[in-house]
């Protein structure tokens, strides 16, 4: 048998030909995230390996003010992107080669992409990123939906790197990212190639985040139809607003779910003290024939309930949190029921930050079980915003993305739809 010995240069070439390295960048809201993802093959046979993935949360900054301030988010993204990418590159062990960036190129990059982000541009100029070109084949960046000032920072950064390193940049849809990341297997081993879980299509996806609440028919990856959406507040937004009314810190989702869990535990305890147990909120639009939802009325119902009491006691807080969570959960499940009645679908996919909520998650799991369809929730740590979902969306869809196509000048699109 003939054994071929490859020189390091040949090995490098084969490596590059077979495998793709994607840099994912996510800055749509209050998480700055960078991912370096290696992939080979095509979905559904696509194999991936996470080389590095960093999520920097801005919660500490925004929680003082009770919500996300777009201009503050923008500043923080601009401050973090360069150091996070340098850290991700060093963790990934990816090779690089020296490059000479001419003054003219730097000036062009400053003019086109640095104009609105002078700080970001200066950080790029003073970093190793203009001296070394890492083995990265392409860049995928979130272009929407999200907060436009925050999105622009990621887009300017991606475009600047694409120009400096002469590699393509694609704009990705954040919500598509929330869908595809739920196909990541629940047990992951580090440093080895993995396959995504096999999902039968068409599937129905329930997407619950701080800015969006949608039920989507996923005909296949890359082909989506929104079946229903909230007409006002997103579920995460409603959680955050109700939490604020109860005097709880931002983000309110995890706070409310903690209190609701306490209430359920104490209600099932034989030693539970007398409880209020009279709070009842509406299940908005539960009987409407369509799949649209509305959560702002729930917020008003909470306000009226609070007016009845002179003091917000711990018991009242727990009671409201629990009833609010029940109202949201029952509404979502009723809409999922309608979605499955009206459409042929073979799986339920769940995504978005609110999917960290154990009560909602387990209600969706039970729903899928009763309907005898497989359930694809996000893995722990991947329900919130992250750049793995953006790199993965690029690797899975290749060019069939629902975001913006490579070649077009990328623009932030706050209201981008699937
Ligand atoms: O997807 P995501 O990280 O960001 C957006 O794209 O909006 O979602 C953030 C939202 C916030 O509103 C937050 O309160 C909510 O997800 N959230 C939760 C929980 N953890 C995060 N909502 C309910 N229960 C939770 N455990
Ligand atoms: Zn999100």
**314 CA to centre of own chain:** 32
Q: What is the pTM of this model?
A: 0.92
Query: What is the residue-averaged pLDDT of the chain?
Result: 90
Taking CA atoms, 262 is separated from 235, 240, 357, in Å, by 21, 18, 14
Which listed CATH number (1.10.10.10, 3.30.420.40, 1.25.40.10, 3.90.10.10) goes with 2-194+384-396?
3.30.420.40
| CATH architecture type of domain 200-373 | 2-Layer Sandwich (3.30)
Q: What are the pLDDT digits (tens) for 328-382?
A: 999 999 999 999 999 999 999 999 999 999 999 999 999 999 999 999 999 999 9
- Ligand 1 pocket mutation, candidates 27, 175, 234, 236, criterion most atoms within 8 A of CB: 236
The ligand with the least distance to the CA atom of 174 is: 2
Q: What are the pLDDT digits (tens) for 186-231?
A: 887 777 899 999 999 999 999 999 999 999 999 999 999 999 999 9
CB 406 within 8 A of CB 169: yes
Report the relative pairing of strands 348-351 and 138-144 from DSSP bridges.
unpaired
Provide the 8-state DSSP code for 246: T
The ligand with the least distance to the CA atom of 359 is: 1
Structure tokens at 195: 């396959």
pLDDT of residue 152: 95
Is the shortest distance between the CB of 352 and ligand 1 below 6 Å? yes
pLDDT of residue 204: 98
Question: What angle, rounded to 10 degrees, do the helices at 252-267 and 358-370 form?
Answer: 70
Is the shortest distance between the CB of 209 and ligand 1 below 6 Å? yes
Strand partners, 404: 171
Residue by residue, DSSP assigns 319-382 as HHHHHHHHHHHHHHHHHHHHHHHHS--S-EEEESGGGG-HHHHHHHHHHHHHTT--EEPPPTT-
Q: What are the pLDDT digits (tens) for 139-190?
A: 999 999 999 999 999 999 999 999 999 999 999 999 999 999 999 998 877 7
Q: How far apart are the CA of 99 and the centre of ligand 1, in A? A: 41
pLDDT of residue 113: 80
Q: Is 223 exposed, middle or buried (0-12, 13-18, 19+ CB in 10 A)?
A: middle
> Nearest CA to 70 among 384, 415, 414?
414
Is the shortest distance between the CB of 353 and ligand 1 below 6 Å? yes
Average pLDDT rounded to a whole number, residues 22-48: 95
pLDDT of residue 177: 98
- Ligand 1 pocket mutation, candidates 66, 251, 390, criterion most atoms within 8 A of CB: 251
pLDDT of residue 403: 53
Cα 402 to Cα 417: distance, rounded to the nearest angstrom? 8
Cα 207 to Cα 378: distance, rounded to the nearest angstrom? 11
Report the relative pairing of strands 31-40 and 169-173 from DSSP bridges.
unpaired
pLDDT of residue 304: 96
Q: How far apart are the CA of 354 and the centre of ligand 1, in A? A: 4
CATH 3.30.420.40 range(s) for the chain read 2-194+384-396, 200-373
Q: How far apart are the CA of 273 and the centre of ligand 2, in A? A: 39
Percent above pLDDT 90 for the chain: 79
Q: How far apart are the CA of 68 and the centre of ligand 1, in A? A: 12
Cα 200 to Cα 195: distance, rounded to the nearest angstrom? 15
Average pLDDT rounded to a whole number, residues 241-250: 94
Inform me whether the pLDDT recorded for 3 exceeds 70: no
Report the relative pairing of strands 375-376 and 132-134 from DSSP bridges.
unpaired
Inform me whether the pLDDT recorded for 122 exceeds 80: yes
């Amino acid at each position: 048998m003939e054994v071929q010995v490859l020189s390091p240069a040949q090995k490098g070439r084969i490596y590059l030909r077979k495998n793709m390295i994607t840099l994912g960048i996510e800055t749509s809201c209050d998480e700055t995230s960078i991912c370096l993802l290696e992939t080979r093959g095509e979905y559904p046979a696509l194999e991936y390996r996470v080389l590095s993935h960093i999520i920097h949360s801005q919660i500490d900054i925004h929680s003082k003010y009770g919500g996300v301030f777009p201009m503050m988010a923008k500043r923080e993204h601009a401050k973090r992107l360069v150091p996070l990418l340098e850290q991700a590159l060093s963790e990934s062990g990816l090779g690089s080669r020296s490059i000479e960036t001419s003054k003219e190129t730097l000036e062009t990059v400053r003019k086109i992409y640095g104009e609105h982000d002078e700080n970001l541009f200066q950080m790029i100029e003073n970093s190793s990123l203009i001296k070394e070109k890492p083995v990265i084949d392409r860049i995928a960046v979130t272009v929407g939906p999200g907060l436009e000032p925050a999105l622009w920072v990621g887009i300017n950064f991606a475009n600047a790197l694409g120009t400096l390193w002469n590699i393509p940049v694609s704009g990705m849809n954040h919500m598509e990212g929330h869908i595809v990341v739920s196909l990541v297997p629940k047990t992951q081993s580090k440093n080895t190639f993995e396959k995504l879980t096999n999902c039968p299509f068409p599937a129905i996806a329930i997407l619950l985040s701080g800015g969006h609440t949608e039920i989507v028919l996923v005909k296949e990856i890359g082909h989506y139809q929104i079946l229903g959406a909230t007409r006002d507040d997103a579920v995460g937004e409603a959680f955050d607003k109700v939490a604020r009314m109860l005097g709880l810190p931002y983000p309110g989702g995890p706070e409310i779910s903690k209190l609701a869990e306490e209430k359920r535990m104490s209600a099932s305890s034989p030693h539970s003290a007398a409880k209020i147990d009279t709070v009842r909120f509406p299940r908005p639009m539960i009987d409407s024939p369509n799949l649209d939802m509305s959560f702002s009325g729930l917020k008003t119902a909470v306000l009226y309930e609070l007016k009845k009491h002179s003091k917000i006691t711990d018991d009242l807080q727990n009671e409201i949190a629990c009833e609010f969570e029940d109202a949201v959960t029952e509404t979502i499940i009723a809409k999922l029921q309608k979605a499955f009645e009206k459409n042929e679908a073979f799986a339920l996919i769940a995504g978005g930050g609110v999917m960290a909520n154990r009560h909602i998650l387990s209600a969706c799991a039970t729903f899928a079980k009763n309907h005898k369809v497989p359930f694809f929730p996000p893995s722990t740590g991947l329900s919130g915003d992250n750049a793995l979902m953006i790199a993965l969306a690029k690797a899975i869809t290749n060019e069939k993305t629902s975001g913006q196509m490579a070649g077009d000048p990328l623009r932030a699109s706050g209201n981008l739809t699937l």
